[in-house]
Structure 1
Amino acid sequence: MSPNSNAQATRAALAEWLKEIRQDAGLTGQDLADRCGWHKAKSSRIENAKTTPSDADIQAWCRACGAADQAADLIAANRTADSLYVQWKRLHRTGLRRIQESYVPLYEQTRHFRVYCSSVVPGFLQTEAYATALLSSIASFRQAPDDVADAVAARLTRSRVIHDGNRRFAMLVEESVLRYRLGDAEAMAGQLGYLLSAMSLPAVSLGVIPFQAARSVWPMATFNVFDDKQAAVDLLTAQVTVTAPGEVAMYVKAFADLQRHAVYGSRARSLIKDALDTLE
C-alpha cells in the first residue's frame, strides 16, 4: 500500500471508530447531530470518511456519546494520518543521510528514550564499522542511492546525545542481536567491545534478554518510545509512527514487560563477552 492509501485506511478506521462510539451510546445519527448542534449530513459524512473531522468535532462527538475519555486517542490518530505509515522506499528515495538527519529534532526534544531491538544493535550504540555494514545492506536491499558514508557520519553525529546527562536511555536487546554478524569479525568485535564500554555511561541502561529467559512476552519488532508521547516501529517495508496516547501506553507497557526478562550489569557483560569469544 502507498503512504496515501494507508492514510486513507487510517481515516476509514477512525470513521468506523466514531461510528461504533455513537452506536455504543445508543444514539442515531440525528440524535448525535442534535446534541452536537450540526446537521445530520455532517455526522454521515464523518462516519463514511468523506469529511475529515476537526479536533473540536471529535471532542463534541465523544462528549455527546459519553466517551470523552477516547477523544485524545482519536485526535492524535486524526492529526497524524498522513505520517502514521510511511514506506522506506519513499523515505530513502534520495539516500539514507537525510532520514538520519530528520530524527535530530525529535532526539533533541526527548528526555527519556526507551529502545527495544530484536535484530540489530540500537543506533545510538552503533560503531562506525557496524553502522557502515548495516546501512550498506539496507541501501542495497532497498536499492537506495549510495550515500552510506554520509549516512553513517550523520548517524554517529546524532548519537552523541547519549553523552548528555540530561537524558535517559533505557535500552533492551535480545541476545540474538549480539550473535547476528554484520560486517566482518573485526567489525563485530569492535561493536561488542563498544557495548561493554557504553554500559558505563551514566545516561545509559543496557539490558540483554537471554535466549534461556522464561518468557511471558514474545520477541517483537524493533521499537522506540520517545518520552511517553510517541513511538516508532520499524517494519520491513515501512516506518510506523504511533502517537495515540493509548497506543503509546501499550508500547511503554510492552517495554516494561520485556525489561523483566532482561539481565543487567555483570550478567549482561557476560553474555556480550560470550558473543565476543565466538568470533573467529
Structure 2
Amino acid sequence: MTLEPDRLGRSKRDLAGMLRELRLQAGLTGDRLAVRCGISQSKISKIETGRVIPGLVDVERILWALNVPEDLAREVTALARIANTEWQDKRTSWRRGMEKRQTELKALESDAAELRYFLPAMITGLLATPEYMHASLGHSVGDRTAVVHRKIERQAVLYDESKAFTFILTEQAVRWALLPPLAMGVQIDRLVSLSRLPSVRLGVLPLGRFLSRGPMNTFTIYDNRLVTVETFTGRIVFRDPKDVGRHREIFDLFEEAATFGPAAQGVLADWAESFRR
C-alpha cells in the first residue's frame, strides 16, 4: 500500500469501517472487544465511527484480540499508518493564504514544550532575519510582507523559558547564500545571538564530519507526538508513535554528532566572517 496524497483522507474512513467489519465478523460486541484488547469501550466506538484515529499500537491490539490472519493484519496496519499521516500541499496553502500557515505553526509552537528542528538545507523562520525571510519566500504566491510580519511575531516564542528548542543546522543550511554576502553575515550573527538564549540549544554539523545517515529532509518534532517533514511541494505530518519515534532516533543521531555551545558559536562566527571578507 503506497502513500498517495489523495488517499490520506479516504484511509481514515476506510480504517474505521474495516475495523468495525472485522469485529462484526468475529461475532464480538464493542464491550467484549474492549475487554479483550484493553481499550475502553467508548474509545472502540469512537475508532469505529471515525471520531478517533487509532495509532498503530491500538490497531495491533485490536487485530490481536480479533485473531485476524497475518496477511490481512498487515494490510490493516498499513492502512492505519496512512490514516495517521497527513499531506499538506503548498498550492492549497497559497490558496488559503500563506499567513494562515504561520498561524498554524504558532499554535503548534505554543502547545509544545520540547521542539526539535533538523535543518539540512535552509535556516528556519524562527531563526531568520527579515531579509532572509523575504528571500526565502521568493517563489511563493501571496502577500509576502504579511507572512514576514507573522514570522517575526512567531519568534517571540524563543524567549519563553518554559520551552526547550533544539536546532541542528548543517553547514550547507547556514551558508546557502540566499542574500548578498554582508546580509548573510548578519544572518549568521543572529544565529550566534539566539544560541545564547536560555531556551535555545543550537548545534551545527560542518561538512566533512562522518555520519552514517544522509540529511534527507527538513523535519520538526513537536514533543513526542507529531512530526512535520518538508518537501518542495508540501509537507507530510506524521502522528503515529512509531513514525515519531523513528524521527526522534534520527534526530538523536545528528544531535550526538553536532557541535553546540561556545564551539558552535565559534564556527558560526568564522562562517559569518568568511561572508564579510
Relative to the length of structure 2, the TM-score reads 0.76
Query: 1:31/1:197 Cα in 2 relative to 1: closer, same or farther (>3 Å)?
Result: closer
Residue 176 of structure 2 corresponds to residue 180 of structure 1? yes
Q: CA deviation at 1:161?
A: 0.4
- For 1:22, the equivalent position in structure 2 comes to none
Gaps of 5+ in 2: 31-46
| Conservation of the 8 A alpha-carbon contact between 1:35 and 1:64 | no
Residue 247 of structure 2 corresponds to residue 251 of structure 1? yes
Identity of aligned residues (%): 22
* DSSP-derived class of the 1:218 partner: coil
- For 1:138, the equivalent position in structure 2 comes to 139
Which whole-Å CA distance do the structure 2 matches of 1:10 and 1:32 have between them? Answer: 19
Q: CA deviation at 1:93?
A: 1.6
Q: CA deviation at 1:63?
A: 2.3
| Conservation of the 8 A alpha-carbon contact between 1:225 and 1:252 | yes
- For 1:202, the equivalent position in structure 2 comes to 198
| Conservation of the 8 A alpha-carbon contact between 1:101 and 1:155 | no
Match among 264, 267, 274 for residue 263 of structure 2: 267
Q: Residues 140-162 of structure 1, C-alpha deviation per residue, up to 9 Å, x if partnerless?
A: xxxx22x1111001011012101
Relative to the length of structure 1, the TM-score reads 0.76
Query: 1:30/1:113 Cα in 2 relative to 1: closer, same or farther (>3 Å)?
Result: closer
Moved more, 93-102 or 212-221: 93-102
Aligned residues: 243
- For 2:44, the equivalent position in structure 1 comes to none
Q: CA deviation at 1:129?
A: 1.0
| Conservation of the 8 A alpha-carbon contact between 1:127 and 1:191 | yes
- For 2:26, the equivalent position in structure 1 comes to 34
Moved more, 181-190 or 148-157: 181-190
Moved more, 101-110 or 196-205: 101-110
- Please give the residue correspondences for 1:1-280 in structure 2 after superposition, counting only pairs within 5 Å: 3-8=5-10, 33-34=25-26, 36-37=28-29, 53-54=48-49, 58=59, 60-65=62-67, 77=81, 80=84, 84-135=86-137, 137-139=138-140, 144-145=141-142, 147-279=143-275
AA aligned opposite 2:162? N
- For 1:43, the equivalent position in structure 2 comes to none
Which whole-Å CA distance do the structure 2 matches of 1:96 and 1:31 have between them? Answer: 43
* DSSP-derived class of the 1:205 partner: strand
| Conservation of the 8 A alpha-carbon contact between 2:84 and 2:240 | no
* DSSP-derived class of the 2:257 partner: coil
RMSD: 3.3
Q: Residues 47-106 of structure 1, C-alpha deviation per residue, up to 9 Å, x if partnerless?
A: xxxxx9445895644422389xx9xx889757655xx01211111124321211222221
Gaps of 5+ in 1: 20-28, 39-51
Query: 1:197/1:77 Cα in 2 relative to 1: closer, same or farther (>3 Å)?
Result: same
